[in-house]
Amino acid sequence: MDGDQIDAMCPACGQRGLRGFHRQDGVPVNSCLLLDTEAEAAGFPTGSIHLGFCPACGFIANVEFDEALAEYSQRYEETQGFSPRFQRFARELAAGWIERYDLAGKTVLEIGCGKGEFLAGMAELGIGHGIGIDPGVKPERIDTTAADRLTWLPRRFTAADADLVGDAVVCRHTLEHLAPVREFIRGLRTAIGERSTVVLFELPDTQRVLDEAAFWDVYYEHCSYFTAGSLARLFERCGFDVLDLRKEYDEQYLIIEARPVPGTASSRPWPADDMDRISAGVDHFAAAYGDMVGEWQGRLEAVAAAGRSAVIWGASSKGVAFLTAAGDHVAAAVDINPHKHGTFIAGTGHPIVAPAELTKLRPALVVAMNPIYLDEIRADLVELGVDAELVGA
Sequence ranges of the chain with CATH classification 3.40.50.720: 277-392
Sequence ranges of the chain with CATH classification 3.40.50.150: 84-264
Task: Give pLDDT < 50 ranges for the chain.
Answer: 1
Q: What is the CATH number of domain 277-392?
A: 3.40.50.720
Prediction pTM value: 0.95
- Name the burial class of residue 69, with classes exposed (0-12), middle (13-18) and buried (19+) by CB atoms within 10 angstroms of its CB: middle
Q: Which residues of 348-371 are buried (b: 16+ CB within 10 A; e: fewer)?
A: bbbbbbebeebeebebbbbbbbbe
| 222-266 per-position pLDDT tens digit | 999 999 999 999 999 999 999 999 999 999 999 999 999 987 766
DSSP states of 9-69 as a string? E-TTT--EEEEEEEEEEEEES-SSB-B-SHHHHHT--EEEEEEEE-TTT--EEETT--GGG
Q: What is the CATH number of domain 84-264?
A: 3.40.50.150
pLDDT at 102: 98
Q: How many degrees, rounded to 5, is the angle at CA 143 between CA 137 and CA 145?
A: 120
Q: Residue 278's CB: how many other CB atoms inside 10 A?
A: 25
Among positive and negative, which fits the CA dihedral 298, 302, 303, 307? positive
